[in-house]
Homo-oligomer: A and B are copies of this chain.
Amino acid sequence: MATLKDVAKAAGLSVTQVSRALNNHSDVSKTTRERVHKVARSLRYQPNLSARKLVSGRSGMVGLVEPRTPHLASDGLFMEVVAGLSTQFSEIGMQFVLHIARPDEPILPVYQRLIGNGALDGFVLTHPEENDPRASLLADEDVPFVVHGRIGEAAEHAYFDIDNEGILYEITRHLTGLGHKNIAFFNGLAGRSYVTARERGYLKALNDSGIPAANALIRNGEMTEAFGLLSTVELFSGGALPVTAIICSNSRIAKGVYQAVGAMNLSVPDDISVMAHDDHVANLETAAFYPALSVTDAPLRESWAPLARCLAEAIDGAPLSQLQQVGPHRIFLRQSTAAPPRSNA
């Protein structure tokens, strides 16, 4: 491999000046810079990341740590994350490193090892939880990181997130606006920060509509079809509250809800209105549901690019205010929502 020294010799310059030219510093004449770049290219020069990291603290490598769960191999979401991030980081000339931790191994020591190794410039954290210890560790150690999502209402870290609270507020207000009063909410697993945020939005909307919240109407679970199906059946077999609308945290849950509603010989939207948030991860075309599902829409895949950029900037030492971004979402009102049936209005 050609080194800086080789390029310097070939260009008849000092190593320093070549380094500056290659890194596009301002204090290099244009002619020199161009000549150096040409020589470097002809020698197929590539900077040695280890050497660079050693002196400047930057290697251009960032990592994602994931515990190896039994389902990992069949987890489409996980692969979406990995493929998306990996692609986006190489797009901006960085190396994305995936580290799968042993299933039995506690996760913090893994981060500590990786930090101590000193090979990585920063980390991406996904699926944050409230008071996530990984974030605390990284913050304590002053290691740059970006979170996919937000930890806490006043997050003190770099993140890219969608407005989970706002999304649920919009959905819920739409339903209360139609006249619904008993609105169930099938949310994700408790503890995840987006789950909490969504619950906040739901509760706030109910409150703003003057509707009391009922614990029995909120359910948390893994966001699967089965969860939606079972929750719906249980909700109606309990028969306590005359639920007229169901909000699903994703389209997969909604699919299960549709099945249960059909099985119970009820109809969407005549008997029950259904809405969901669609992140486009499940291969479910919500417009092709029958009846077409009303959704808020924010494709997960649109977050990898901002996330990568955000981490790059965090590593470059950008101020926190620039590193906290909330992506857009849309709302599509289709055929699955209507005013509640008379008997329950």
Contacts and interface: CB of A to CB of B under 8 A. Distances in A.
Interface of A: 1, 44, 46-51, 53-54, 59, 61, 68, 72-76, 78-80, 82-83, 86-87, 90-91, 95-102, 112-119
**What copy number does this chain have within its complex?**
2
A53 B68 CA distance: 28
Given A97-B98, A102-B90, A61 B119 contact: yes
Given A76-B73, A91-B102, A98-B97, A50 B83 contact: no
A51 B54 contact: yes
A97 B100 contact: no
Nearest to A60: B117
A104 B78 CA distance: 22
A79 B54 CA distance: 33
A111 to B, nearest CB: 12
B116 A87 contact: no
Given A79-B73, A96-B100, A119 B50 contact: yes
Given A76-B74, A90-B101, A102-B90, A95 B117 contact: yes
Contacts of A112: 44
B44 A48 contact: no
Given A50-B118, A83-B100, A86-B100, 9 more contacts: A1-B116, A48-B54, A50-B50, A51-B54, A78-B79, A82-B98, A86-B99, A95-B117, A97-B98
A118 B79 contact: no
Contact of A83 (B53, B72, B91, B116): B72
Nearest to A70: B83
